[in-house]
């Protein structure tokens, strides 16, 4: 593991181009398992989560070329096992997306408990509900084991929550099922839409993506296809906050304007001078004021993946802000460390925090307990007085490519050292 050493108090400015959406890359890679023909994905983010997912596919018998570049060529001509490497699965929550393709190709799937952020608190009950509705049989084995010896069958499914990966799991299974499926209370996030469009290019019959009801006509055989990933709007927003919290200015390109609107809305509410047009986010030095209340929501509401960064930004805004992440527990707990940096925080419960600013922060050692709060803590360190250390930096690199190099390019005084 590595430590990121940050000397705070520097104004960060410059220009950055984001890569493909991390939350699209993993389901698209999983979808490649549904065909024995070659699939080509471009604008793939060069991040650790993609590396782990690619290695899992290789262990299943797939050929993956181009790892470490923005173009992946994936051919799953033969799938030799229904049991992905448990050690790799334990590093990646997105590995749950392999259940559907394995049921389709092997008639069975045996998955160790997926890892990632907060694995003990994030269940996959919605995913399993959808697969059982489509004809899979749950087995009494360790982890998550299912069989569908006669194949999957189309069904009418109402998801008990609008889970993103739950919706993706249902869609991945439905395209390989016999007959028509209707998935209601479906997630509407851009990465769900992107998966559906990729599957349509592979020959699947899908309609309704981007709405709460998705209809899928299963097909007997899917073909290979190519797809260019849309830019990562969460990454774009992250760099916007990094510049804003240091009083800098930045131009972030590569994410779609419509996606950026969701990110920018609460930032504008905090007085941040920013524009989003022509697939570009521009942030200028601003006097920040409290937003009173920021609440996460399902798409097209403010995404939970940005709540940690906005909470840190609120420490530098004049006044009091209530941050409410009703989607996930524990995400805000990681930010309690800001209190030791002199931030004025009151944690109401596992979903709500009151932040009073503007408070000068001071450097200290910080623990990256999850991907998004890790990036938020780096943002706090960049505006703090003195030196901070953040570890392990690998947690943040799961979702942010070339992290050290990009920070340095923007003017940050940072270095990476071995723990």
Residue with structure tokens 């009703």?
A: 326
Residue 277 annotated in active site: no
∠ CA 195-374-1 to the nearest 5 degrees? 100
Q: In what order do the strands lie in the sheet with 226-228?
A: 63-65, 71-75, 38-42, 226-228
Cβ distance 252 to 280 under 8 Å? yes
Instruction: Please report, for the chain, how many H helices and E strands are present, in that order.
Output: 13, 23
Report the alpha-carbon distance of residue 16 to residue 252 in Å, rounded.
5
Query: Among 90, 97, 80, which residue's Cα sits nearest to residue 36?
Result: 80
Residue 159 neighbours by CB under 8 Å, 6+ apart? 126, 129, 130, 166, 167, 170, 183, 184, 185, 186
Answer for the pair 12, 248: CB distance below 8 angstroms, yes or no. yes
Q: 15: which 2 tokens?
A: 């220009």
How far apart (Å, rounded) are the C-alpha atoms in residues 78 and 62? 7
Which residue in 351, 288, 362 sits closest to 324, CA to CA?
Answer: 351
CA triple 6-8-12, angle to 5 deg: 100
List of residues 6+ apart from 280 with CB closer than 8 A:
251, 252, 253, 257
DSSP conformation letters of 241-303: HHHHHTT--EEEESS-HHHHHHHHHHHHHTT-EEEEETTEEEEE----B--EEEE--STTS--
Strand, helix or coil for residue 418: strand
| Nearest in space to 226 (alpha carbons), one of 205, 202, 209 | 202
Name the active-site residue from 36, 65, 85, 117: 117
The residues annotated as belonging to the active site are 117
């Amino acid at each position: 593991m590595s430590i990121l050493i940050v000397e705070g108090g520097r104004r960060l400015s410059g220009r950055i181009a984001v890569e493909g959406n991390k939350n699209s890359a993993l389901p698209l890679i999983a979808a490649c398992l549904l065909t024995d023909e070659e699939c080509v994905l471009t604008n793939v983010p060069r991040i650790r989560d993609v590396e782990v997912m690619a290695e899992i596919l290789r262990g299943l018998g797939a050929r993956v070329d181009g790892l470490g570049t923005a173009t992946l060529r994936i051919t799953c001509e033969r799938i030799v096992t229904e049991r992905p490497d448990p050690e790799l699965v334990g590093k990646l929550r997105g590995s749950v997306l392999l259940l559907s393709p394995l049921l389709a190709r092997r008639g069975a799937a045996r998955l160790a408990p997926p890892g990632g952020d907060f694995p003990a608190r994030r269940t996959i009950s919605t995913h399993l509900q959808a697969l059982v509705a489509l004809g899979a049989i749950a087995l009494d084995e360790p982890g998550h084991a299912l069989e569908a010896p006669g194949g999957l069958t189309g069904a009418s499914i109402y998801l008990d929550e609008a889970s993103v990966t739950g919706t993706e799991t249902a869609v991945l299974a439905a395209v390989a099922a016999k007959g028509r499926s209707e998935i209601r209370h479906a997630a509407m996030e851009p990465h769900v839409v992107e998966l559906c469009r990729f599957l349509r290019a592979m020959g699947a019959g899908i309609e309704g993506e981007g709405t709460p009801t998705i209809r899928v006509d299963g097909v007997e055989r899917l073909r290979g296809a190519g797809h260019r990933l849309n830019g990562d709007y969460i990454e774009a927003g992250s760099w916007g906050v990094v510049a804003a919290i240091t009083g800098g200015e930045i131009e972030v390109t590569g994410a779609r304007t419509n996606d950026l609107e969701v990110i920018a809305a609460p930032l504008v509410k905090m007085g941040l001078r920013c524009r989003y047009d022509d697939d570009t986010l521009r942030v200028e030095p601003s006097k920040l004021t409290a937003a009173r209340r920021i609440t996460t929501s399902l798409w097209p509401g403010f995404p939970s993946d940005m709540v940690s960064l906005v909470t840190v930004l609120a420490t530098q805004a004049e006044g009091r802000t209530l941050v409410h992440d009703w989607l996930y527990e524990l995400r805000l707990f990681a930010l309690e460390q800001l209190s030791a940096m002199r931030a004025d925080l009151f944690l109401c419960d596992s979903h709500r925090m009151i932040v009073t600013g503007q408070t000068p922060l001071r450097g200290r050692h910080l623990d990256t307990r999850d991907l998004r709060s890790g990036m938020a803590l780096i943002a706090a360190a960049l505006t703090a007085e003195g030196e901070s250390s953040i570890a392990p930096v690998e947690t943040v690199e799961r979702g942010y490519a070339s992290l050290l190099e990009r920070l340095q390019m923007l003017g940050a005084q940072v270095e990476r050292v071995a723990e």
